[in-house]
């Protein structure tokens, strides 16, 4: 049955593409309509073969439960909040959910979405991370979305006139997570391992325009991802992936490292 469905949808995709090419002589409007149908057919094919329909609900729930169990096993860890401000594209939101699952993140918040986070394209791109989309919280404004965070970081590639907000890089996020005292000195090589971990909120702007100055003003820090100056604007999900990697690295290192009191006891014994 699966093979029959996939074959049928593939034939539909080819037929729509052929009709789109054949309609070129009818004008650009007719061509765009045909091409749109071809894209929709391709989306249905991708969803049927590799999307949500062939990933069981039990599998997706299990993956999310594993993240929750990992959070509970590490009592000194607080889930960072990934806050998307006015995202336009369903597929990007789905891709963000997928990379969040890749790096053990589950707290997705969306401010005034201009797309449908639960649409078929979004869920298709999310794959096994559909529960993150289903559990995402929707807010009317940035202030409410970041209310419970200890530190807020605005991720932006554009230069800002907000001189009072310091600029940091992805590798420095660990200083915000680990200890308030370390935040003031980013050159410190060894972090003090305290029991209290900061809850971090990360703001990501819309695909077309990014974050406004008013939205950035809610943050204590501006995060800049170094890239080629000629084309430095990353895809939304790619930016979240880079940040997620740094957060996962910090989490892994912290899990392997003995707690600060234990280190003191070992030094006293020696």
Residue 268 in domain: no
Q: pLDDT for 208-251, tens place per residue? A: 888 998 999 999 999 999 888 888 789 999 999 999 999 998 88
**Residue 105 and residue 135 in one domain:** yes
**Residue 123 and residue 200 in one domain:** yes
User: pLDDT category, 262, cuts 50, 70, 90?
Assistant: very low
Q: Which residue has the higher pLDDT, 163 or 24?
A: 163
**Residue 105: which region, alpha, beta or left (left: phi > 0; alpha: psi -120 to 50)?**
beta
**Residue 164 and residue 248 in one domain:** yes
User: pLDDT category, 147, cuts 50, 70, 90?
Assistant: very high
Q: What is the full DSSP assignment across 73-134?
A: H-TT--PPEEEEES---HHHHHHHHHHHHHTT--EEEEES-SS-TTSHHHHHHHGGGHHHHH
What pLDDT does 85 receive? 96
Looking at the chain, the whole-number percentage of residues with pLDDT higher than 70 is: 57
Q: Which domain CATH number covers 151? A: 3.40.1280.10
**Residue 194 and residue 239 in one domain:** yes
Where in the sequence is the domain holding 168, given as residue range(s)?
A: 68-260
Q: What is the pTM of this model?
A: 0.67
Per DSSP, the three-state class of 154 is: strand
Cβ atoms of residues 180 and 198 within 8 Å:
yes
What pLDDT does 219 receive? 93
pLDDT at 102 over 70: yes
Q: In angstroms, rounded to a whole number, what is the distance separating the alpha carbons of residues 71 and 78?
A: 7
**Residue 170 and residue 249 in one domain:** yes
**Residue 23 and residue 106 in one domain:** no
Least confident of 40-49, 155-164, 179-188, 190-199: 179-188
The average confidence (pLDDT) of the chain is: 74
Counting Cβ atoms within 10 Å, is residue 158 exposed (0-12), middle (13-18) or buried (19+)?
A: middle
Residues in the chain: 270
What pLDDT does 242 receive? 96
- For the chain, the domain total comes to 2
What pLDDT does 204 receive? 96
**Residue 132 and residue 228 in one domain:** yes
Arithmetic mean of pLDDT, 31-39: 54
Cβ atoms of residues 145 and 86 within 8 Å:
no
Residue 210 in domain: yes
Q: Which residue has the higher pLDDT, 224 or 70?
A: 224
**Residue 28 and residue 162 in one domain:** no
Residue 267 in domain: no
Cβ atoms of residues 170 and 241 within 8 Å:
no
**Residue 166 and residue 238 in one domain:** yes
Q: Which residue has the higher pLDDT, 183 or 75?
A: 75
Instruction: Report the Cα–Cα distance between both ends of the chain, in Å, rounded.
Output: 68
pLDDT at 181 over 80: no
pLDDT at 149 over 50: yes
Residue with tokens 């080629």: 228
User: pLDDT category, 184, cuts 50, 70, 90?
Assistant: very low
pLDDT at 80 over 60: yes
**Residue 9 and residue 73 in one domain:** no
């Amino acid at each position: 049955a699966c093979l029959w469905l996939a074959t049928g949808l593939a034939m539909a995709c080819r037929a729509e593409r052929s009709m789109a090419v054949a309609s070129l002589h009818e004008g650009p409007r007719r061509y765009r309509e045909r091409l749109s149908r071809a894209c929709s057919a391709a989306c249905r094919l991708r969803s049927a073969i590799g999307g949500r329909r062939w990933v069981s609900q039990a599998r997706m729930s299990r993956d999310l439960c594993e993240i929750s169990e990992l959070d509970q096993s590490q009592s000194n860890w607080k889930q960072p909040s990934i806050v998307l401000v006015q995202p336009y594209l369903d597929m990007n939101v789905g891709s963000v959910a997928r990379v969040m699952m890749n790096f053990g993140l589950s707290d997705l918040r969306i401010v005034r979405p201009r797309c449908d986070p639960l649409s078929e394209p979004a869920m298709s791109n999310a794959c096994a991370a559909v529960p993150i989309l289903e559990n995402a919280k929707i807010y009317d404004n940035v202030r409410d979305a970041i209310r419970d965070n200890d530190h807020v970081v605005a991720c932006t590639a554009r230069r800002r006139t907000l001189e009072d907000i310091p600029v940091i890089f992805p590798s420095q996020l660990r200083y915000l997570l680990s200890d308030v005292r370390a935040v003031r000195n980013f050159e410190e090589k060894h972090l003090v391992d305290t029991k209290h971990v900061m809850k971090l909120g990360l703001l990501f702007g819309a695909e077309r325009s990014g974050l406004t100055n008013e939205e950035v003003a809610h943050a204590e820090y501006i995060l800049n991802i170094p890239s080629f100056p000629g084309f430095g604007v990353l895809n939304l999900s790619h930016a979240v992936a880079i940040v997620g990697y740094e957060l996962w690295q910090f989490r892994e290192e912290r899990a392997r490292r003995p707690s600060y009191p234990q280190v003191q006891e070992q030094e006293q014994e020696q």
